[in-house]
A and B are shown apart, each in its own frame.
Chain A
């Protein structure tokens, strides 16, 4: 599993939207150079036969009795070994909670699926722990690798100041489940078709280090808190003043940390947020990073911050850096092709520009966002589910002060259930839809023709995925399996089926095979860099507006001076 990022942030011109896909393609090319014949780089949210017999090459065997994972299914050798982080995390999580992680995902019950679906784990070396943990009619998994071996698509935004970063963090939180449902791409786990199309709950359970006391199964004696969520899960509270009245969850936080921050002048919401991060123990630590000068080094904070894996991440700048306040959007599943991944990224980024330009408001109670998050993972949520969504997103009439009053979650006048299609494409009566809002924005800003073409193609993909006209990746995978001649309607994805599935997906990614039911017939005009003309003009505007001479721009603009 490889993570790739651009080497520097994309710029702030609309033309920069056109280079995302090319950048992703460049990353693929770079990785491909390290591959040998017969190997392929695939963007899959979950590898369908992860944890099945001989899923590695060369083949390896899991060891339930010793090592970092002690898993019935996942060998230690399949964990990246050139950095201590992963095996250490796996071991520490397992040791902290006192037993292996327990992941149970409902299996898809097909005509011939064993009912009840119960596996014989003793043949894999189970000492009884597995049998006790596995639920009937569920796909049981017992290692961090099942979750953190999944892939996803994350986007980080620069905010111009702390206030804007808090606004963006809040406004994007209700969008998380919507984008997860749209990007659903992981219907198969450990070789079985599941009732879920998304990875979220699997990853959440795979790094859940809560003890029985913290889980509430035993009374609190040695542990400090009863904790409601895994350290990988959705956010518990909004950070902006406008969001405060929608914080209707019981936020567990460290009171000493909270008070320390309050005494230093940090406001309640931010202090509570950080104090909530700090209810977790460190689960991976270098000995040389233990004793630090906390006046100069933020590594202790980053340690806890980076092992709180939430749907949104609020990222303060490190000391002595001009990097600024950032917000990370983390829920999306990764798609097969660069076109799709770029489309999802550009869609979300454009949405943030629209939110800030038009001062839109998507806030609903946090508990409702969590309900949406559960709903979004269901099989075919994009077509079959409805989601709580704010009725009127243009509400900057009410001043922020009015938002300070507590709002009960039962006050349903502000939000209602909508389908993904309605949210993305709009409803005739009232709700404009996210794509029409973005298109309105795009007709009001300067966009060069290639970038506009690319963005219109991306929006077309989003529109048609939302309406169900095009399949989600999850749906495409399911249908492929259902239609495979060797599939026996028993939810089993055999080696042969998996091999054929991945070969087909590979050909779609390279363009050797067309898949209009997944991708439509869209084609972007992505390029490695922004047009020269745009860069020159922008340099000119900057130059003149910061006091430079207009004459300096003449040669840049191919002007000919001389006769008047």
Chain B
């Protein structure tokens, strides 16, 4: 997914968290409009990480296990006065069915944006190795976390991504707080299975499109990725869009990494 061969990440670092900041701001858009979302994610995360490491003095991160960029001081937050005119959508891609990781991801994005409420939270589940298939048993523990978030008024609606009709129905029937959204791949928008569209219509589930890349892991194992977007309501304009990426160093690769850095 991303190469860190050109970057001198200090050996004591076992985990990195990168916030790309607002990609809607000008300079980032000099990229081709036809860049895929996957490339956009990789490029924006790599750029920020690289810039951060270049100016990093080793003493600061000497005893740290976690590398975070940007620093607290560089983060730009959403103004409180603006919040009621905005709609904040957060999609968390997790790579383990681990409630702790979900909470970590959510806390990070809410902290970095300076908000206490997310409008729409979407969860994208890990791809299970074949021939395993995603079932309600996998989803249940993490969905309970999301339900608590609604009860605690941290999130208004909760939703899922890329569930098929059976998975969606199973979740819907079991859940106490029902999924408000099932995201589906943009490619399929004109050929939606009728079973899915009628179930969604009967139960007021929003079927929304996404264009996010599929799961893909290499040297640094992603713990989670957050994609957030902020819309100005009733004007239909995007105000803010970015990614927060957290990765765990894969132990078997540590030796490789050291050799690369010398």
Asked if B236 lies at the interface with its beta carbon under 8 angstroms from chain A, I say yes
CA distance A557 to B151 in the complex (A): 13
CA distance A357 to B27 in the complex (A): 14
**Would you give the shortest CB distance from A462 to chain B, in whole angstroms?**
15
Q: Within B32-72, which residues are at the interface with A (CB < 8 Å)? A: 32-35, 37
Knowing A443-B37, A560-B176 are in contact, say whether A358-B234 is a contact too (CB < 8 A).
no
Asked if B128 lies at the interface with its beta carbon under 8 angstroms from chain A, I say no
B206 with A550: CB separation less than 8 A = no
CA distance A47 to B181 in the complex (A): 48
Q: Which of A357, A541, A546 sits near B119, CB closer than 8 Å?
A: A541
Of A397, A449, A531, most buried by chain B (CB within 10 Å of CB) is: A449
What chain B residues lie within 8 Å of A537 (beta carbons)? 120, 157, 180-181, 206
Asked if B205 lies at the interface with its beta carbon under 8 angstroms from chain A, I say yes
Of A440, A456, A537, most buried by chain B (CB within 10 Å of CB) is: A537
CA distance A39 to B128 in the complex (A): 62
What chain B residues lie within 8 Å of A540 (beta carbons)? 156-157
Q: Which of A448, A545, A559 sits near B208, CB closer than 8 Å?
A: A448
Q: Within B150-166, which residues are at the interface with A (CB < 8 Å)? A: 150-151, 153, 156-157
Asked if A279 lies at the interface with its beta carbon under 8 angstroms from chain B, I say no
Asked if A533 lies at the interface with its beta carbon under 8 angstroms from chain B, I say yes
Q: Within B186-239, which residues are at the interface with A (CB < 8 Å)? A: 186, 188-190, 192, 197, 200-201, 203-211, 229, 231, 233-239
- CB nearest neighbor in A for B34: A436
The segment from B81-89, B93-101, B252-260 found at the interface with A is B81-89
Asked if A57 lies at the interface with its beta carbon under 8 angstroms from chain B, I say no
B24 with A357: CB separation less than 8 A = yes
A14 with B238: CB separation less than 8 A = no
What chain B residues lie within 8 Å of A536 (beta carbons)? 204
A14 with B236: CB separation less than 8 A = yes
Q: Which of A397, A556, A559 sits near B26, CB closer than 8 Å?
A: A397
Beyond A533-B205, A545-B86, 17 extra complex contacts between A and B, CB < 8 Å: A357-B24, A358-B29, A433-B33, A444-B238, A446-B206, A448-B208, A449-B207, A452-B186, A531-B206, A532-B204, A534-B206, A537-B180, A537-B206, A538-B233, A545-B117, A557-B204, A558-B178
CA distance A546 to B186 in the complex (A): 32
B178 with A559: CB separation less than 8 A = yes
- CB nearest neighbor in B for A556: B204
**Would you give the shortest CB distance from B121 to chain A, in whole angstroms?**
12
What chain B residues lie within 8 Å of A448 (beta carbons)? 206-209
Using a CB–CB cutoff of 8 Å, the interface residues on chain A facing chain B are 11-14, 160, 353, 356-359, 394, 396-397, 426, 432-433, 436-437, 439-450, 452-453, 456-457, 525, 531-534, 536-538, 540-542, 544-546, 550, 553-554, 556-564
B207 with A550: CB separation less than 8 A = no
What chain B residues lie within 8 Å of A358 (beta carbons)? 24, 29, 238
Asked if B241 lies at the interface with its beta carbon under 8 angstroms from chain A, I say yes
Can you offer 18 A-B residue contacts whose CB atoms are under 8 A?
A: A426-B33, A426-B34, A432-B32, A440-B33, A448-B207, A449-B209, A452-B186, A453-B190, A525-B190, A533-B204, A537-B157, A540-B157, A544-B156, A553-B157, A556-B204, A560-B176, A560-B177, A562-B176
What chain A residues lie within 8 Å of B209 (beta carbons)? 447-449, 452
B-side interface size class: 35 or more
Asked if B184 lies at the interface with its beta carbon under 8 angstroms from chain A, I say yes
What chain A residues lie within 8 Å of B150 (beta carbons)? 550, 559
Asked if B30 lies at the interface with its beta carbon under 8 angstroms from chain A, I say yes
B156 with A553: CB separation less than 8 A = yes
Knowing A449-B208, A456-B190 are in contact, say whether A357-B238 is a contact too (CB < 8 A).
yes
A563 with B233: CB separation less than 8 A = no
CA distance A356 to B239 in the complex (A): 9
Chain B positions 13 through 38: 1 when the CB is less than 8 Å from some CB of chain A, otherwise 0: 00000000000101101101111010
Q: Which of B27, B189, B234 sits near A449, CB closer than 8 Å?
A: B189
Of A444, A525, A553, most buried by chain B (CB within 10 Å of CB) is: A444
**Would you give the shortest CB distance from B61 to chain A, in whole angstroms?**
32
**Would you give the shortest CB distance from B189 to chain A, in whole angstroms?**
4
Knowing A437-B33, A562-B176 are in contact, say whether A544-B234 is a contact too (CB < 8 A).
no
Of A356, A394, A533, A536, most buried by chain B (CB within 10 Å of CB) is: A533
- CB nearest neighbor in A for B234: A12
A550 with B153: CB separation less than 8 A = yes
Chain B positions 83 through 116: 1 when the CB is less than 8 Å from some CB of chain A, otherwise 0: 1101101000000000000000000000000000
Q: Which of A359, A441, A442, A533 sits near B180, CB closer than 8 Å?
A: A533
Q: Which of A356, A444, A541 sits near B241, CB closer than 8 Å?
A: A444
- CB nearest neighbor in A for B241: A444
CA distance A525 to B84 in the complex (A): 32
**Would you give the shortest CB distance from A434 to chain B, in whole angstroms?**
9
CA distance A561 to B24 in the complex (A): 39
Q: List 7 A-B pairs, minimum CB-CB distance, nearest first.
A: A432-B33, A443-B211, A12-B234, A436-B33, A357-B238, A453-B190, A533-B204
CA distance A564 to B186 in the complex (A): 35
What chain B residues lie within 8 Å of A545 (beta carbons)? 83-84, 86, 117, 119
What chain B residues lie within 8 Å of A544 (beta carbons)? 117, 119, 156
Knowing A453-B190, A541-B156 are in contact, say whether A394-B233 is a contact too (CB < 8 A).
no
What chain A residues lie within 8 Å of B239 (beta carbons)? 357
Knowing A452-B189, A546-B84 are in contact, say whether A558-B204 is a contact too (CB < 8 A).
yes
**Would you give the shortest CB distance from A160 to chain B, in whole angstroms?**
6
CA distance A544 to B120 in the complex (A): 12
What chain A residues lie within 8 Å of B35 (beta carbons)? 440
What chain A residues lie within 8 Å of B151 (beta carbons)? 564
What chain B residues lie within 8 Å of A550 (beta carbons)? 150, 153, 156
- CB nearest neighbor in B for A159: B235
CA distance A358 to B25 in the complex (A): 7
Q: Which of B30, B207, B208, B235 sits near A160, CB closer than 8 Å?
A: B235
**Would you give the shortest CB distance from B183 to chain A, in whole angstroms?**
9
B233 with A541: CB separation less than 8 A = yes
A557 with B208: CB separation less than 8 A = no
